[in-house]
Structure 1
């Protein structure tokens, strides 16, 4: 959609002209106004306009609404919205809402009081300075209070943008972080997988004040296998249970089911024996000749089980010795994640000119890390998502 759209500098002059001596009206005005000012600042132009926020006005003039998002508010007030989440559709809905608010403002507070030169939220100068010193790169970041304690740990593919979001958000949690932030440190990783593993370990180790959610286990469902009375290997999605050995784990039930549907297609498995089609007879795929008939014992157990075992081997690194090689922090560097006997041992970085000849050499560059169910889940989920990532079995 944006391929042939004009660049901002090409329309900047026109924006200045059409907004001259005008008040900008927007739903969540501080966001739109901040974007405009940022873009003009990049062009070296100080853009200033007065603004009116229809979110704040709606809360004042139409109290008690369950939601003040534009879509839900428009539906509640009977305002027709066409082309939702597109500029023209949202703008026209905001115009209609603003007209309604002007009518409801019997005391004329909109005209007298609601106009302001700047949005209410102003980023503190020290937070701006912190953002300016951060890189636009993948890694783990640590937010510290004035005592140096870590109050939040996160990972991002763009550290600078992510911290900027923390410091410009008006959510209750973000406001608390903003008030307590004294500095931000970071560690570049290059690889998203390395960042995820480091974030997981650092949160569990440091237990930062504002990372409550990630202190808990990050997956809830798992894939298990069992052999039925007829000798066929069955697969089953169930709630994760640390007492059982899982083939792989998932963040939620929906992602587990999506994985299973794709597995049935890729490995020509039976819907009944994978728990996707509960039945006492044959599965639906057998009816349309896309199942070999394991559901009614027409396919041999050896033939069917070999395909199930291929799936299990592909998605479980149990008892495997392997290295996962991913991006490094620089062009001439790579990251290495070591799995030994199916156990995550740690990670490190190596120069492309540095030849890894055996596992002993590799282990010398690896920083040991704790193997836990969360780290296993992170690695398995990353390998499922990034099928072209390089793995070396040794």
Structure 2
């Protein structure tokens, strides 16, 4: 049997929102045989915008049961039935989250009436419940209320059953995963994804990028995004996905670098962990009027090139403290008070001026030694192609692709095939992870 469900909530994401109303209609394939409806106290405030949409206010749910008080009855109605809803993963994610917080679980077969309607009634302008109700003459006197929308979904489900030519069984097959796909994403778009290394883009109905990711097997990674176990946390993203595009990279290093660049360029709303900060502080070297070499930390400014850049003052100071200790430098000449350095186990012994200058010169040279020119070679996007990442005098220049016949003996030849990308601390972190895994050519 089908458990046709609709809920109202305090927000659009199960990770942060709570249920304010729930309606369940048990359908045997011909008619409704049981029903349940209840307001739910979400144990949090209902935003004014949500109240304006649903009509459900904080006062209305004040004396309503909390979810744990109706959980047993809800579970008994859902257990063993097929969970049906219009945009099923939205309703499923909220109810699943409620059971998880009670120490339980929800693991049911699902049917999405949005995706079913697209399959059985193709070519309509919109598949929202309101537009489908208008198209098929389904009356709904209580829109955006759980029972009103649930009853409208029942009538829509009746039409889907009457016009079904095997689509419902196809959706319910164990390996179909149809219900896990975003409601607005064509199945063919997902089926046509490659199992190759590259960067992928989730896009909304206007083509705007919502999320950027990289994968060694693009299709498998995206399938994981849409899996039932991930639905609670990814539903807000899934509801907005209308299309997926991708860029093949061939090599995992290239995919990491392109992903990092695209996240910074596009700043997608659903990319959180990889919005890496840019370099804000630098380590500057200069000579004072007495001829002493000095180091200081300052904000990165246009026209002033630091010997080393950092994303924060704390990171710059931590490096400088270690640098002074490693090269036995005078901390006072490095903007570090000797009294402070004692807390880090370092005491400086006075040296002859020339000896100190020489030591400082060697220390600065060690920073310059890190500014090597080299390239990393890797796999290409096709058979007979290779990839290259170029670092010139310690600065990341970009990456490119070349045929196996290409010699690449000179730096000028490599510059011609490399597409230029911005340099930043994050790309060096990525490159350093791959140095031992890739063939390196130095110049």
TM-score category (smaller protein): 0.5 to 0.7
Aligned equivalent of 2:242, options 173, 182, 202? 182
Write the distance in 1 (CA, Å) between the matches of 2:321 and 2:190. 43
Aligned equivalent of 1:328, options 379, 382, 386? 379
Q: Which residue of 1 aligns with 2:417?
A: 365
Q: Are residue 355 (structure 1) and residue 415 (structure 2) matched?
A: no
Q: Which residue of 2 aligns with 1:223?
A: 282
* Residue pair 1:191, 1:326 contacting (<8 A) in 2 also: no
Q: CA RMSD in A?
A: 4.8
Q: Which residue of 2 aligns with 1:3?
A: none
* Cα deviations by residue, 1:82-117 (Å, 9 ceiling, x for unpaired): xxxxxxxxxxxxxxxxxxxxxx98995232124544
The 1:286–1:251 alpha-carbon spacing in structure 2 relative to 1, beyond 3 Å, is closer
Q: Which residue of 2 aligns with 1:308?
A: 363
Q: Are residue 140 (structure 1) and residue 199 (structure 2) matched?
A: yes
TM-score under structure 2 normalisation? Answer: 0.48
Give the CA deviation at 1:218.
2.8
The 1:127–1:345 alpha-carbon spacing in structure 2 relative to 1, beyond 3 Å, is same
SS in structure 2 of the partner of residue 180 of structure 1: coil
* Residue pair 1:226, 1:233 contacting (<8 A) in 2 also: yes
Q: Which residue of 2 aligns with 1:111?
A: 72
Larger radius of gyration: 2
The 1:163–1:361 alpha-carbon spacing in structure 2 relative to 1, beyond 3 Å, is same
SS in structure 1 of the partner of residue 360 of structure 2: helix
* Residue pair 2:256, 2:430 contacting (<8 A) in 1 also: no
Give the CA deviation at 1:313.
1.1
Gaps of 5+ in 1: 1-29, 32-59, 66-103
The 1:217–1:244 alpha-carbon spacing in structure 2 relative to 1, beyond 3 Å, is farther
Counterparts of residues 1-394 of structure 1 (less than 5 Å): 63=43, 108-114=69-75, 116-117=78-79, 120-121=92-93, 123-124=180-181, 126=185, 133-135=192-194, 138-146=197-205, 148-156=207-215, 159-160=218-219, 162-164=221-223, 166-167=225-226, 169=230, 174-202=234-262, 207=266, 210=269, 218-227=277-286, 229=288, 231-252=291-312, 255-256=315-316, 259-260=319-320, 263=323, 267-270=326-329, 272=331, 278-279=337-338, 283=342, 285-287=345-347, 293=349, 296-297=350-351, 300-316=355-371, 322-329=373-380, 334-339=386-391, 345-351=397-403, 354-366=406-418, 368-370=419-421, 372=422, 375-386=423-434, 388=436, 391-394=440-443
* Cα deviations by residue, 1:109-144 (Å, 9 ceiling, x for unpaired): 232124544681362375776556545654321223
* Cα deviations by residue, 1:33-60 (Å, 9 ceiling, x for unpaired): xxxxxxxxxxxxxxxxxxxxxxxxxxx7
Write the distance in 2 (CA, Å) between the matches of 1:262 and 1:128. 55
- Of 242-251 and 380-389, deviating more is 380-389
TM-score under structure 1 normalisation? Answer: 0.53
Write the distance in 2 (CA, Å) between the matches of 1:345 and 1:275. 31
* Cα deviations by residue, 1:295-346 (Å, 9 ceiling, x for unpaired): x4457234322332233214446xxxx3421432368754223355776554
SS in structure 1 of the partner of residue 237 of structure 2: helix
Gaps of 5+ in 2: 1-13, 16-39, 46-64, 84-88, 94-178
Paired residues, what number? 282
Write the distance in 2 (CA, Å) between the matches of 1:233 and 1:246. 15
